[in-house]
Structure 1
Amino acid sequence: MNSLLLKNRKLIAVLACFALIVGAWQYDHSAQYKRGRESMAAEISGRLKDAAIEKAKQDRETSAAYQSGKAVREEKERVRYVQVQKIVEKPVYRSVCVDSDGLSVINAAIADGD
């Protein structure tokens, strides 16, 4: 066995060098892959974070617009409610269901679209 190894020592040395080079090449490529994967994961995470921040900002703006619109609608409803109460307390004659004040309140509500 020793004589066989001594005869083919150049071949064994070449094969060992080849195996060492291939192993180093594979290790380098796996390290590059890991670095690339980590950098892309960090980039995607940053994009998702930025998107979440932008979405939260838009949600706050939408909520503020909704709340201000809601306040306006509630105020209009409150005014209508008071006007209707005043109109209802007036005497209504049998031949007329809604007087001119009530009709103007109804028309104003229809015109507002609320």
Structure 2
Amino acid sequence: MNSLLLKNWKLILIAVCFVLIVGAWRYDHAAQYKRGRESMAAEISSRLKDSAIEKAKQDRELSDAYQTGKAVREEKERVRYVQVPKIIEKTTYRNVCLDSDGLSVINAAIADGN
């Protein structure tokens, strides 16, 4: 066995060098892949965080606009709840159910879309 190794020592040395080179090359590519994967994961995470922050900002703005509109609608409704009983309690001396004040309240409610 030793004589076989001694005879072919150049071939064995070339094979060992080839195996070392291939192993180093594979290790380097695995390290590059790992670095690239971690870099892309960090970039994707950053993009997701930025988009979540932007979405939260848009949601806040939409919520503020909705709350403002809701407050305006509720105030108009409160005014109607106060005005309508007053108009209903007025005495009318004709065969008209609503006078001009009542008609203006109804038309305003229709114009507001309620």
**TM-score, with structure 2 as normaliser:** 0.94
Aligned equivalent of 2:45? 45
In 2, the alpha carbon distance for the partners of 1:40 and 1:104 equals 64
Greater shift, 32-41 or 96-105, is seen at: 96-105
Moved more, 89-98 or 51-60: 89-98
CA distance in 2, matches of 1:85, 1:108: 16
Query: TM-score, normalised to structure 1's length?
Result: 0.94
User: What's the counterpart of residue 35 of structure 2?
Assistant: 35
1:89 Cα deviation (Å)?
1.5
TM-superposed deviation, 1:104? 1.2
- The residue type paired with residue 69 of structure 2 is G
Aligned residue for 2:103? 103
Q: CA RMSD in A?
A: 1.3
1:60-89 superposed Cα distances (whole Å, 9 cap, x missing partner): 000001101111111111111111010111
Deviation of 1:98 after TM superposition, in Å, equals: 1.8
Unaligned runs of 5+ in 2: none
Structure 1 unmatched runs, 5+: none
The percentage of aligned residue pairs carrying the same residue is 82
* Superposed displacement of residue 91, structure 1: 2.5
Residue deviations 1:44-72 (CA, integer Å, cap 9, x gap): 00000000000000000000011011111
Corresponding residue of 2:54: 54
Structure 2 SS opposite 1:25 = helix
Which amino acid is 1:33 matched to? Y
Counterpart of 1:35, as a letter, is R
User: 1: distance between equivalents of 2:80 and 2:23?
Assistant: 84
Deviation at 1:95, TM superposition (A): 2.3
Partner of 1:11: 11
- Once residues 22 and 113 of structure 1 are traced to their aligned partners in structure 2, the CA distance between those partners, rounded to angstroms, is 76
What are the superposed Cα offsets for residues 14-42 of structure 1, whole Å, 9 maximum, x if unpaired?
Answer: 00000000000000000000000000000
Aligned partner letter, 2:68: S
CA-CA distance at 1:93 after TM superposition = 5.3
